[in-house]
Structure 1
């Protein structure tokens, strides 16, 4: 399935589960109604910043917007994720490439691998969410600067940074080569009823 169609279905399902109109999601996310409509029809490739605004408004992580099905059947809840089935997505604004590593089996933990191009910058306006989500970033190769709220860290290969997704976060690759890093997310508000295997 095309990644834009996966994102489209997931946002439609999450919005529908809350009983929100397009206008309500637009108001809560500061993303225009027309842009959300295009995204939900799979006719627009949203940027990472737009996805973060929508995820924050919907009370989920950005990684969960790449889940293939919002309500998978028990047969689809495999604990295995083969590399050929892992969704790849490229941010049209920065060119960063993210791969969702986690299997479809519901878990409070999600893993995402990212390749962040040299000289690029992405800022998320992440705010307080309904869900309590924590994230750790482990740099596998390269270096980058991460700012969480008003505090910045320079991470080199092997460094790890933990944060709660409740304030603005920015990622900068100030080096002359791509940086690869792993993101581990934990949703403490996880619905355990979906974790049956």
Structure 2
């Protein structure tokens, strides 16, 4: 009687397989459709996605071509999981002295996740206009912690006071302005489409 041996996949191969599944399902493709597009057999694709085999550079190159990614981009998306906690002292802060805007990246960085939290601070009188979103269709939730903030999107201004929350999807120009005599401090939750 043969004894069955359970093999634990390499952690990088497991993350890579999971990312390959995500890329395929994001496009709504079956394994058969991906096989046609890539010229790689369904069984080979299935084994790579289940981390039953370590994909070759040639296989990854073909898949990167289909998904419109460089190999280094794909591999960076599956590097070891970053730390789940980013301590306050380690959160990157960027300041635009000219506009009176301070931005703190609160969320631990993670290239494969779509959401992040940012703390924004606008000095009294600060007014920032963006001509377009970094990613069209970006979802934003703006929750006021202190002060008053005017947010203009799609030609409509929303004035937010402490505790208010605005949810919007950004397709065009936006404007953020401190609408009160004190600093406006808010949490911005950003979700990529």
Distance 2:91 2:76 in 1: 18
User: How many angstroms does 1:174 deviate by?
Assistant: 2.4
Correspondence for 1:99: 104
Distance 2:169 2:85 in 1: 27
Correspondence for 2:60: none
Distance 1:128 1:180 in 2: 22
Correspondence for 1:177: 182
Correspondence for 1:186: 191
- 1:86-145, Cα deviation, whole Å (9 max, x unpaired): 10000132121110001123421110001110111001111584x542111110011111
| 1:85 to 1:116, Cα distance in 2 relative to 1, 3 A | same
Give the TM-score normalised by the residue count of structure 1. Answer: 0.55
Contact conserved, 2:159 with 2:179, CA < 8 A, in 1?
no
Looking at both structures, which has the greater relative contact order when contacts are Cα pairs under 8 Å and sequence separation is at least 6? 1
Q: Tell which deviates more after alignment, 72-81 or 83-92.
A: 72-81
Contact conserved, 2:150 with 2:157, CA < 8 A, in 1?
yes
User: How many angstroms does 1:78 deviate by?
Assistant: 1.7
Matches within 5 A, 1:139-178: 139-178=144-183
Distance 1:112 1:159 in 2: 16
User: How many angstroms does 1:162 deviate by?
Assistant: 1.1
Distance 1:90 1:97 in 2: 4
**3-state DSSP class of the match of 2:162?**
coil
Q: In angstroms, what is the RMSD of aligned CA positions?
A: 2.1
Distance 1:79 1:142 in 2: 30
Give the TM-score normalised by the residue count of structure 2. Answer: 0.56
Q: Which runs of 5+ in 1 are unaligned?
A: 1-69, 189-197
One of 133, 136, 142 as aligned partner of 2:141: 136
Larger radius of gyration: 2
